[in-house]
Amino acid sequence: MQQKIKIAPSILSADFARLGAEVQAITAAGADYVHVDVMDGHFVPNLTIGPMVVKALRPHSTLPFDVHLMIAPVDAFAQEFAAAGADIITFHPEAGPHPHRTVQLIKSLGKKAGVSLNPATPLSVLDHLLPEIDLVLVMSVNPGFGGQKYIASATDKLRELRRRIDDVSSRQGGRPIDLEVDGGINEETARIAIAAGADVLVAGTATFTGGPDAYAGNIARLRG
């Protein structure tokens, strides 16, 4: 069963010169998660932020920090991001040799565990992981940069994942599992993704366009 639609603004599109204030602004504007894109210049072709920035931002919002690790190896940093204030830690199965062990590690730290699927990553990687995780993140662009165009094939992936998640959730007494989508999300693609079953929308440019006074309206329009 699909949950209420949550909006997770990606701070990759925020004003980095005033990042704390930006996090406060999206919190006040009605965001549900703060989405933190962590890139290492190795697993993906870009460098962003590390645990020290997450720790510095943590006092600026009471919202869950939804930390997407686009780094390899991932296990070595999971504990650092957990200690810095991450609430949800999402990783790519290609980023380590033993995804199930990574899930166990994240859960052992008292955090929610998510798995992210790149556009070419098959759903079969979740066959023995879905009952253990709290979130599936479908990348509707290739990870590494903001501002890319939504890849249409993500819609079919979301639709099939919605079916699988509902099946697992029902067998586990209704345990919530977020179905998140990230990449090229705007008012138009948000409607497409929601219709396909997504219930968490990561939106960078679509949230942060227009400055703080526009954030509440931007978020409301994405939520539908």
Question: pLDDT for 199-224, tens place per residue?
Answer: 999 999 999 999 999 999 999 999 98
pLDDT of residue 146: 75
Q: Has 145 been labeled as part of a binding site?
A: yes
Count other C-beta atoms under 10 Å from residue 63's C-beta.
17
Q: What is the mean pLDDT of residues 7-30?
A: 97
Q: How far apart are CA 194 and CA 186, in angstroms?
A: 12
Cis peptide before 73 (omega within 30 of 0): yes
Task: Give the active site residue among 37, 134, 178, 199.
Answer: 37
Q: Is 208 annotated as a binding residue?
A: no
Tell me if 211 is assigned to a ligand binding site.
no
Q: Which of 132, 126, 74, 67 is nearest to 103 (CA)?
A: 132
Is 127 annotated as a binding-site member?
Answer: no
Query: Is 182 an active-site residue?
Result: yes
Q: Which CATH number fits domain 6-223: 3.40.50.300, 3.20.20.70, 1.10.10.1400, 3.90.420.10?
A: 3.20.20.70
Polymer length of the chain: 224
Residue 3 has pLDDT above 80, yes or no: no
Which band of pLDDT confidence, cut at 50, 70 and 90, is reported for residue 1?
Answer: low
**Is 156 annotated in the active site?**
no
Confidence at residue 44, expressed as pLDDT on a 0 to 100 scale? 94
Q: 25-47, pLDDT tens digit by residue? A: 999 999 999 999 999 999 998 99
User: Tokens 């406060």 label which residue?
Assistant: 24
What is the pLDDT, as a whole number, of residue 18?
97
In 3-state terms, the chain is what percent helix, strand and coil (to 5)? 45, 20, 35
Annotated binding-site residue? 182: yes
**Residue 63 contacts by C-beta under 8 Å, 6 or more apart in sequence?**
27, 31, 32, 33, 34
* Domain range annotation of the chain: 6-223
> What torsion, rounded to 10 degrees, do the Cα atoms 38, 13, 219, 197 define?
-50
Query: Does residue 2 register a pLDDT over 70?
Result: no
Angle, helices 75-84 vs 99-108, to 10°: value is 20
DSSP state of 175: -
Cross-strand partners of 203: 9
Q: What value does the mean pLDDT take over residues 136-163?
A: 93
Across the range 181-202, mean pLDDT stands at 97
Q: What is the pLDDT of residues 46-71, one digit of tens each?
A: 999 999 999 999 999 999 999 999 99
C-alpha to C-alpha distance for 143 and 224, rounded to whole angstroms: 26
Give the C-alpha separation, 108 to 134, whole Å.
Answer: 14
Q: What percent of the chain has pLDDT over 70?
A: 99
What pLDDT score was predicted for residue 143?
86
Tell me which of 32, 134, 182, 199 is the catalytic residue: 182
Q: What is the pTM of this model?
A: 0.97
145: pLDDT strictly greater than 80: no
pLDDT band of residue 195 (cuts 50, 70, 90) is very high
- Please check whether residue 208 is in contact with residue 22, taking contact to mean a CB–CB distance below 8 angstroms: yes
To the question of whether residue 184 is assigned a binding role by annotation, the answer is: yes
The pair of structure tokens assigned to 148 is: 């890319």
Q: What's the pLDDT score for residue 101?
A: 98
CA atoms in the 13 A half-sphere facing the CB of 13: 26
Q: What is the pLDDT of residue 185?
A: 97
